[in-house]
Amino acid sequence: MAMCIDDGLLSSYLDGELGEPYKSQVEEHLSYCTACQSRLEKLKKLDAIIKGVGPSDEELTSRQEQTLSILEKKCFSNKKISFWRKKLEVSIPSMVTAAAGIIVVFIGSFALFGSSSSNTSDIMPSFSAQAGSENVHLVSTKEQGLDAYSLEEIMKYLDSKGYNVDISIKGLKPIE
């Protein structure tokens, strides 16, 4: 019993893709093997069905011409468009990045170059951070906290500085 031809080789034979010596060997096998002959007939019928379902060569050619003409009109038109009429497509992330860059440049130039006019003191207050013995005042030489002072001494001190202090004591019941 001889070995039969597989479907891939039969399909290649049907499509005319086999060269010699394989083509002659397949034809010789088909001359005496009825099983392979019936499989080849089934493949021929399947091929005819597939070719019948798809578009014809004329339809493919006309559709290809239509597609190419549309592409030519859209992409390769010779009409020159003015610079002011061109569409400018910019994505949102690039717009946000550009705006942030402009803000950084503006703030950086303001901080770097500044302005010597008197109007800038209204916007950004200025101060002098020079520390020296003339602008450093010693508050106390004693190393004691507020616990060392009586309430009366604290009140007199605050009164001398111009503070108006109201004192309320929690937890005491008024005398009736």
Is residue 108 one of the residues assigned to a domain?
A: yes
Is 18's pLDDT higher than 80?
A: yes
Least confident range from 16-30, 44-58, 77-91: namely 77-91
Residue 171 lies in a domain: no
Cβ neighbours of 37 (radius 10 Å): 13
Predicted confidence (pLDDT) per residue in 152-174, tens digit:
888 888 888 888 888 877 777 77
DSSP-assigned letters across all residues of 118-166:
TTHHHHS--------TTS-----S----GGGS-HHHHHHHHHHTT----
Q: E-strand spans in the chain? A: none
Residue 45 lies in a domain: yes
Residue 17 lies in a domain: yes
Instruction: Give the chain's domain count.
Output: 2
Whether residue 13 is predicted with pLDDT greater than 80 in this model: the reply is yes
C-alpha separations of 47 from 22, 31, 153, 159 in Å: 21, 21, 114, 111
Closest CA to 39 of 1, 19, 13: 13
59 located within any domain: no
Q: Are 68 and 75 in contact (CB under 8 A)?
A: no
Instruction: Give 167's contacts (C-beta < 8 A, 6+ positions apart).
Output: 151, 155
Question: Looking at the domain assignment, is residue 147 inside a domain?
Answer: no
Average pLDDT, the chain: 79
Terminus-to-terminus CA distance in the chain, angstroms?
Answer: 130
Residue pair 18/9 in contact (Cβ under 8 Å)? The answer is yes
Q: Which residue has the higher pLDDT, 28 or 56?
A: 28
Is 60 within the bounds of a domain? no
Question: Is 112 part of any domain?
Answer: yes
pTM of the model: 0.34
Over residues 87-104, the mean pLDDT reads 90
Query: Structural domain of residue 111, as residue ranges?
Result: 94-121
